[in-house]
Chains A and B, each alone.
Chain A
Amino acid sequence: GNSVTQMEGPVTLSEEAFLTINCTYTATGYPSLFWYVQYPGEGLQLLLKATKADDKGSNKGFEATYRKETTSFHLEKGSVQVSDSAVYFCAPRRDSGTYKYIFGTGTRLKVLA
């Protein structure tokens, strides 16, 4: 079955620092890949996605590239802001049957001013 491994948090960065959150997955077939973000006290919001190999998803300055050869989907942002403080979840989605997501453990990001 599908599984996902995310880097352990918390990650603490200063404002304008470069962010990388690693995510690797195991899957049968070719899942679509998603990053979700959970701001304090809120639900899950889609941040970005990629549906096939070498696709790059991007949104709000965040990027992630679907790397089939390394089964990875690392999240990056060139310059983080305090408002990016949240928990980030990597989530492959099985693209058949029920299309359920498999969520990683989440990585908490704290950005200091």
Chain B
Amino acid sequence: EPEVTQTPSHQVTQMGQEVILRCVPISNHLYFYWYRQILGQKVEFLVSFYNNEISEKSEIFDDQFSVERPDGSNFTLKIRSTKLEDSAMYFCASSDVWPTYEQYFGPGTRLTVT
């Protein structure tokens, strides 16, 4: 069964450093998403991406964040200058289109900012 993959599984970085989290969505999907889950809290929507552009972003997704689909298979989330409060599990998801729009989630990348 096709699945969404994410790398790395765990990333440790120092405050102020840039990180790139990578995702390979399911190949025929057209919508892509990033969510994050701070330890012990709910899963929060960050951004959705369709047709090579951001279709919606949350208040969390400020100028420090960016997304890109550089080569038609990868979908990346970049955090330019990490802060301690960016420490979280980041989930990538992709979805097919009509009629289900069901999202399939990757296993997540745990980001630890020290």
Contacts and interface: CB of A to CB of B under 8 A. Distances in A.
A105 B42 contact: yes
Interface residues of B, number: 22
A106 B41 CA distance: 8
A110 B80 CA distance: 38
Contact of B42 (A45, A95, A99, A104): A104
A100 interface: yes
Interface in A66-113: 89, 91, 93, 95, 97-106
A98 B55 contact: yes
Contact of B107 (A43, A49, A100): A43
Interface string A34-48: 001000001111100
Contacts of B42: 89, 103-106
Contacts of B48: 98-100
Interface of B: 31, 33, 35, 41-45, 48, 50, 55-56, 91, 95, 101-108
15 contacts: A43-B91, A44-B43, A44-B105, A89-B42, A98-B48, A98-B50, A99-B48, A99-B95, A100-B45, A100-B56, A101-B35, A103-B42, A103-B44, A105-B41, A106-B42
